[in-house]
Amino acid sequence: MHTYTVVIEAEESGGFFGIVPALPGCFTRGATAGEGQLRAVEAIEVHIAGLLADGEPVPRKLGRPTMVTVTVAA
């Protein structure tokens, strides 16, 4: 059993985009935040299955991510 943090953000074009910081390359989308969360479970399961099939270690969550806001000149 694995527990991961999923970051879900609204997209400007509609819908929601979710990423799993502990699993680089693991992401998903959904029409609602709730759907994004459900799809994240599927994405994590598929991602972990791929890692195991490739003989790679499965990363563990390393604590609570810190969310920060930064300002950049564009």
**Arithmetic mean of pLDDT, 47-68:** 89
Is the pLDDT at 61 greater than 90, yes or no?
no
Q: Each residue of 1-23: pLDDT tens digit?
A: 888 999 999 999 999 999 999 99
Q: Each residue of 32-41: pLDDT tens digit?
A: 999 999 999 9
**Higher per-residue confidence, 7 vs 65:** 7
**Predicted structure pTM score:** 0.83
Between strands 27-30 and 16-19, the pairing is: antiparallel
Q: By the 8 A CB rule, do 49 and 9 touch? A: no
Give the pLDDT score at 22. 92
The CATH number linked to 33 is 3.30.160.250
* Count of structural domains, the chain: 1
Domain that holds residue 58: 1-74
